Structure 1
Amino acid sequence: MASTGDNSKTALIDGLNGLLADHLALYFKTKNFHWHVQGPRFRDLHLLFDEQAIEIQGQIDAIGERVRKNGAMTLTSIGSVAKATQIADQDDTSLTPDKMIEELRDDNKKLVDSLKELKTHAEEAGDNATDGLIDDWTDMAEERVWFLSSTLN
């Protein structure tokens, strides 16, 4: 029978791998929109999407390393990412800029929700390092939501 500590550690690892999958998928989607955005706001959105993709990419390694530092294995392939992510693929290269913004905003909101849930798991598992990083990652995702939302007004 697994102890409560084992359950909280398993929930933390599962949550971190889900977060890793979400960041990888969101990074690719954000770059997709960066490459395919068109219209009068092209320059501003092209740059905004690139800035956000770079920020997301910068978190990927730290998330994977938190999994390893907790003694577990990370995702290993595109297939494992696809199985673990909550970020839906988007292959339509003709979306309007507003649809792109709405999708990225909503996907980043999903990340905020996941991060808040993951914080509980980190606390329960006694992983102070992950707990502290989650605060920073949440702030970054909330800022991305804010920036994306503000471009729609």
Structure 2
Amino acid sequence: MTPEDVMTQDEVHDLLQRMFAAFTNPATKPEQYAELLTPDYIQRVDGKELAYAGFLHHSEALQVSLSSSSVSFEHFVTDGVSAATVHIAEALKINGERIRLKVIAYYQFRDHRICLVDELTHLLEGTTQDRDLGSRMPD
């Protein structure tokens, strides 16, 4: 690892903010994730594993079932090559129901992009069907 591989705390925070801004924006196109995620990106969430293409399908599933969503960080730590957060994800479903999840996530970075996310989610508000929000796929 070279010094260029290590990001500053501000760079990591900015990358995560840009990722969640894209992820929570229904207008985000799949190709826009290329600047945020490595081609071999892996996301592990609640016992399921999504590769890059799976993540894109997950994103599409949320875009069609949610009218809005947001993420707010409660805790954030980084060493410049990895990070951990505790954050609250809030969403409003198309039918008007609210969802709130507490998420504990670990991230790894390569080439100033996210290459791995390993997370656990806990449903704070919503129906039992909403427990899969972190890994939901299109029907």
TM over 0.5: no
Query: As a proportion of its length, which structure holds more helix?
Result: 1
TM-score range, shorter chain: 0.3 to 0.5
Q: What TM-score comes out, normalization by structure 1 length? A: 0.32
Q: What TM-score comes out, normalization by structure 2 length? A: 0.34
Query: As a proportion of its length, which structure holds more strand?
Result: 2
